[in-house]
Amino acid sequence: MCTTVLVGKKASRTGSTMIARNCDTEAPIQPVKFVQVEENAVTSGTFHSVITHFSEAYPEQALGYQMIPFVEQETLGIFGEAGINSLNVAMSSTESIFGNPFVLAADPFTEEGLGEDALLTMVLPYITSAREGVEYVGKLIEKHGSHEGNGIIFSDKDDIWYMEIPCGHHWVAQRIPDDHCAVIANQSIIETVDFEDEANFMHSANIRTFVETHALNPEDDTFNFRQIFGTSNLQDRKYNTARVWYGQKILGKENASPTADDMPFTFEPAHRLTVDDVGRVLSSHFDETIYDPFSKGDEQAAHAFRPISMNRTAESHILEIRNNVDPEFAALFWLNSGPTAFNPYVPFYANSKDTSSLYNETSLTFDSNQAYWRARLLAVLVERDYDKLAFLNFGYLTSAKELAHQLILASDQEAENYTGEERKDFLTACNEKHAKKMNQLALDHIGALVEQGLGLSALTYDITKDI
């Protein structure tokens, strides 16, 4: 159950496309690792899902890419979740969505269908553009069907495509306008589909016939995908719409009510956006509103809606494809180990040979030397006395943003001195160096939290007050 933010290249300050998502799992502890998969790592045999009946032969050639899979894959599946391939095509999968009962009765999910566990592994290494990503998934859905309702995001340096699959075999995808952004929260959100506009919309074969045959369209003169295929119920208004309302509010779109069911899919932000703006949305918990779980006063309001930042966020990513630097180091993978409210985004060059030893060797049990577990330790320390430690954490997050941007700025400039394999080696070394510097900042913050937090202990006594 995730939250997604999309930013077109003309809506960003640097001309980058950005696709981002919080990956929220079912439990607070679900270890993941951040790894690099080499070019042509698997070129024969068949992929078999361990949680569905989906299987598909591996193509004979594969691009290199990153992914953030579960550590425990034998029983849980891979769930690669997000990555950027060696052609600077990014993919994030998935935003869970739900079709309504009428749609699912007519086109149910399939046991052998393509699911979230397999999507990144079976798609990202084989596509050369964001649009091709949609087409590639569409062919797999036509062949196997879908195992569950999914929203999938693709991007390259020019385009962002968002694809919704709310039922067994039918889907629609829309290109995000260059000057628009979007916030998505576990609910079908694509609105009117223009079937004549092939540059901006794609869809499954015979989708209009399917809708007409089963009398699914409540309107006569329009094809509103959200109304036809999606849901709008009490659970949506408690769990989903408020997140869209607050995310849009941060980015400059005011909507009257957090329970409104007619908020727009895409919109122009109030100003051109940065990675930090996207991170602010994904780290938010209805800050400075009565709906903030940390607010004091109206207890009912503070727990009325599900916040964006959650204790069970396994990881959060911002995939940025830049247009203002050399394409050979234009792709940045910003990774937040979560929970996002208390931890920063760490930048990694995607055009490299590896991530970092702090991120690619996560264990199933606690190890404070690993980024995944260190981030959870930090979060527990902050939230224990949030009212008293939030300001200290705010200072850390501010310093972390500054350091991250300094590291990328300096490395971008130095990367100009290298080409080919030497440049890849340099970027790989940068990933390790950046991760360690960001980790040291986190360790310093943990030290400060321990020192200040121990002073808040109830197990204290001042004898001078009783003399």
Catalytic annotation, residues: 2
Structure tokens at 159: 């385009």
Given a contact cutoff of 8 angstroms between Cβ atoms, the answer to whether 184 and 95 are in contact is yes
321 close to 345: Cβ distance less than 8 angstroms: no
CA atoms of 368 and 352, how far apart (whole Å) = 26
What are the residues whose beta carbons fall under 8 Å from the beta carbon of 365, sequence distance 6 or more? Answer: none
**Nearest Cα residue to 239 out of 126, 116, 98:** 98
CA atoms of 445 and 235, how far apart (whole Å): 38
Q: How far apart are CA 148 and CA 105, in angstroms?
A: 14
In the numeric block, the tokens 């990694």 are attached to 348
* H/E stretch holding 381: helix 371-384
Burial degree of 193 (CB within 10 A; 0-12, 13-18, 19+): buried
- Residue 24 bridge partners (DSSP): 313
Which residue type, as a one-letter code, is found at position 342? F
CA distances from 137 to 126, 313, 321 (A): 11, 26, 21
Beta bridge partners of 336: 316
Using CA atoms, how far apart are residues 124 and 112, in angstroms rounded to an integer? Answer: 20
Where do runs of H (alpha helix) occur along 306-418?
A: 371-384, 386-415
The answer to whether residues 172 and 206 touch, using CB atoms and an 8 Å cutoff, is: no
For 120, what's the count of Cα atoms within 13 Å in the CB-facing half-sphere?
27
Name 342's Cβ contacts closer than 8 Å, sequence gap at least 6. 375, 378, 379, 382, 383, 393, 397
463 three-class SS: helix
Alpha-carbon distance of 462 to 464, in angstroms, equals: 6
What span, in angstroms and rounded, lies between the C-alpha atoms of 76 and 395? 37
